[in-house]
Chains A and B, each alone.
Chain A
Amino acid sequence: GQQVMQIPQYQHVQEGEDFTTYCNSSTTLSNIQWYKQRPGGHPVFLIQLVKSGEVKKQKRLTFQFGEAKKNSSLHITATQTTDVGTYFCADTGAGSYQLTFGKGTKLSVIP
C-alpha cells in the first residue's frame, strides 16, 4: 500500500527558532492534509493541499505541496511554546476516503 514518509521524528528548538517537517512519498500524493496533535489530545485538522506547487499560509505556519505532488512541508516561523505537539501529514489516496498518516514529527519548544 501507499506509504507516506515523514521526517524528522523529533525536533527540539529554542523558542523563537524556526521549524520544518517534511513528508514525501514514492508515489504521487492526492490530497495532503496536515494535522496537529497536542500531548494527550486528538489530531486537529490544520490545512489541506490539493494543487501541485500549492502554498498556503496560516499566520506563522507555511504549508507547501511539491510540484510533482510527491512531497509536502510545514514550516513554522519563530516557534512559540504553544506550537508544542506532534504534526502529522496524511494523504487521502486516489479515490479513497481513507487517510494514510506519516509517522509524525514531535516538536518540543524550549522556552
Chain B
Amino acid sequence: GAVVSQHPSRVICKSGTSVKIECRSLDFQATTMFWYRQFPKQSLMLMATSNEGSKATYEQGVEKDKFLINHASLTLSTLTVTSAHPEDSSFYICSALQGDRNQPQHFGDGTRLSIL
C-alpha cells in the first residue's frame, strides 16, 4: 500500500520550454503533498507544500510564478516548471502524506529534468 506514482521519470528539453510533472497517490487520498528538489549528492530541499483545493505554500526563495503547483484532487498534484532554463535542471521528487503529520511521507520515484 501507500504507492505514489510520479511521471515522467525523465525529461530532456530545450531552454524556454514549460514542463509539467504529475504526482499521484495510487491507493490512498493525500490531503497534503510536497515537492522537493534534490541536487546531485545533496539532501532534499522542500520547495512547496501542496494542499488539495487551496493555494500551495512556497518555501523562501522559491518563485511561485516559476514553479506552478496545482493540487486539483486528493490524489493528484502537478508541478509545472515554466520557461525552464539550464539552472532549473535537477531531480524533482514529490511526496504524499497519508493522514496526519505523525505519519511518514511516501515518495514518488522522482523526475530528472535536464534543460539544454
* Chain A residues with a Cβ under 8 A of chain B: 31, 33, 35, 41-45, 48, 50, 88, 92, 95-104, 106
| Contact flags B77-109 to A (C-beta < 8 A → 1, else 0) | 000000000000000010101000110111111
B49 part of interface (Cβ distance < 8 Å):
yes
Q: State whether B108 touches A42 (Cβ < 8 A).
A: yes
Closest to B6 in A: A42
Chain B residue contacts of A33, Cβ below 8 A: 104-105
Interface majority SS (helix, strand, loop, mixed), chain B: strand
B46 part of interface (Cβ distance < 8 Å):
yes
B35 CB, min distance to chain A CBs, angstroms: 11
Interface centre among A88, A92, A98, A104 (most CB of B within 10 A): A98
| Contact flags B3-41 to A (C-beta < 8 A → 1, else 0) | 000000000000000000000000000001010000001
* Chain B residues with a Cβ under 8 A of chain A: 32, 34, 41-46, 49, 93, 95, 97, 101-102, 104-110
B90 CB, min distance to chain A CBs, angstroms: 14
Q: Given that A97-B49, A97-B97, A98-B34 are contacting pairs, would A43 and B102 also be in contact in the complex, using a CB cutoff of 8 Å?
A: no
Closest to A48 in B: B104
Q: State whether A106 touches B41 (Cβ < 8 A).
A: yes
Q: State whether A99 touches B41 (Cβ < 8 A).
A: no
CB contact between A97 and one of B44, B101, B106 (< 8 Å): that residue: B101
Chain A residue contacts of B105, Cβ below 8 A: 33, 45, 99
Counting from the closest, the 6 A-B pairs by CB-CB distance are A45-B104, A42-B107, A103-B43, A97-B101, A101-B43, A101-B44
Interface majority SS (helix, strand, loop, mixed), chain A: loop
Chain B residue contacts of A96, Cβ below 8 A: 101
Q: How far is the CA of A103 from the CA of B42 in the complex (A)?
A: 6
A56 CB, min distance to chain B CBs, angstroms: 14
A47 CB, min distance to chain B CBs, angstroms: 9
Q: How far is the CA of A97 from the CA of B102 in the complex (A)?
A: 8
B109 CB, min distance to chain A CBs, angstroms: 5
Q: State whether B44 touches A88 (Cβ < 8 A).
A: yes
